Amino acid sequence: MLNVRASKPIFSRFIKLDMSFAEQVVYWGIVLTPLWWLLGVQTLLYPAIAIILMLISFDFDKLLRTAPACVWAWLVMSLVMLATATIGLSNVGFDIQKIAATLVTFFKSYFLIYACLVLPFWNRIRISVITRAVAWMTTGYLATIAIQMVMLVLRIGGSGFLPPLARLIPGDKLSLQVKFAVFQPFFGIPLPRTALYTPDPPILGVCAVLCFFICLGETNRRLRNFGLTGCLVALLISASRLAWLCLPLGLLIIVCFRSRLARQGTLWAASFTALLCGLLGLTFNQLLEKPLEIFTSARATSSTDREFVVRKTLEAWQESPWLGWGIISGSVRWYTYDIALGSFSTYASVLYLHGIIGFIFFIAALALTLCSFWVLAVRGNLLYKRAFASLVALYVFCNAIPLTWMTVYFWFFFVWLGAILSETQQHRTTVYSWEHLSEKFEYGKSFYQIVVAKIMFAF
């Protein structure tokens, strides 16, 4: 007969048993990612989870509670996006399909970031719950990748299929397709590559990097090792060159926070680079030319495509520099297909869609979010170091893919950031609460009375 009491502690090592309603929704929303991927409902389900939880837990008391400036900065950025999109729609005419596409983009991009950041302030969502869910999801990467490798060898499944529920969702179906692993050339060598639960392999790369930093906080050693292994395998098979650079960059930042000597690394690196340039008789650009040539030659066609689209995007932005175009209203022809303007580089896309004004608000949101983790990271808080390093990695990767397109696939990352900020705020509120201060006052008062009594007794 199964001993339930004996098996419960073992079960609780891997699944949190005391979760609130919001934690259960977020937990299973992350863990069941393969199911949502096969059903083709990711792009609508994840924003629905965040927004519905936010609406259920909304009240004016929570609205008036103090939240970091970065949370409200993303709300302002989403409103700027909505305003410029409205102006763009008014210029081309309010079409139902275009309005629907704009609203979907609004709810699954900047507003989704705001909703995910604010959720932990309005609900009980602990860091440990998110970490455990992400560790399980990345452990599942290993099984899914293994299955896709077998399918690739046996030539089963082809290029993929469109899920049944995805057929009911209006709009472009490209991001809703279930794609399997294929062989793609890398330095001229055909190697397996897959996008897994995302529409594009580079998005899988950035998801793997962000999940890696989250999984570092998993308390169960066995699950943490499996989760980190899943992240590294997914990063490897994504064949994302920039994601490969972002992971060591983030780890280097964490090391720099820990070591006083490493904090001077930039100075030493700059001095060594200047010395090397002097000895070789090269300029800094010439010194970087060869590594960049190797970096782009891995997939020369992809690099050329991105450079061409970004250049055309910036040229189109110059025609409406202050408010941008609001909506994507142009494309460029490349070989036999069209590429929409703003498809590559978040920064070029923000300039093109929202102009200089929107770009200022966007940079402010990025900077405020990064600064929210700076102080405690410098003071040695390991969790804040990981959050800061992962944000830097994300900002670097934003130069390759628009944030509005890939946010929905790592929405849990912003919930994790919000949970970190929320738990820190709750700790400070507890420490500096009026009740705590009154206890200190009473203790001081009694201590004063004892001292006075002793002095009087002495006399």
136-169: pLDDT as tens digits: 999 999 999 999 999 888 888 777 788 888 777 7
Helix (H/G/I), strand (E/B), else coil: 344: coil
Q: Give percent helix, percent strand, percent coil of the chain, each to the nearest 5.
A: 75, 5, 20
- Give me the pLDDT at residue 187, please: 64
301's CB contacts (< 8 A; 6+ apart) are: none
Report the amino acid identity of residue 167.
Answer: R
- Give me the pLDDT at residue 425, please: 78
Percent of the chain predicted with pLDDT > 90: 38
pLDDT digit string, tens, across residues 30-63? 999 999 999 988 888 999 999 999 989 887 777 6
Tokens 């020369």 correspond to 300
Tally the C-alpha atoms within 13 A of residue 93's C-alpha that lie toward its C-beta.
3
- Say if CB 441 and CB 393 are below 8 A apart: no
- Give me the pLDDT at residue 345, please: 84
Task: Please identify every stretch of the chain with a pLDDT value under 70, giving residue numbers as ranges.
Answer: 1-17, 63-66, 170-173, 187-188, 259-303, 334-337, 427-459
- Give me the pLDDT at residue 188, please: 67
CA gap 212, 44 in Å, rounded: 25
Burial class of 81 by CB neighbour count within 10 A (0 to 12, 13 to 18, 19+)? buried
- Give me the pLDDT at residue 448, please: 40
- Give me the pLDDT at residue 410, please: 94
Report the amino acid identity of residue 395.
Answer: Y
- Give me the pLDDT at residue 183, please: 81
- Give me the pLDDT at residue 279, please: 52
Tokens 């970065």 correspond to 70
pTM: 0.84
What DSSP letter does each residue of 214-226 carry, written as one string?
A: HHTT-S-HHHHHH
304's CB contacts (< 8 A; 6+ apart) are: none
- Give me the pLDDT at residue 262, please: 55
Report the amino acid identity of residue 414.
Answer: F
Distance set, CA 414 to CA 116, 202, 219, 396, 418 (Å) = 6, 19, 20, 17, 6
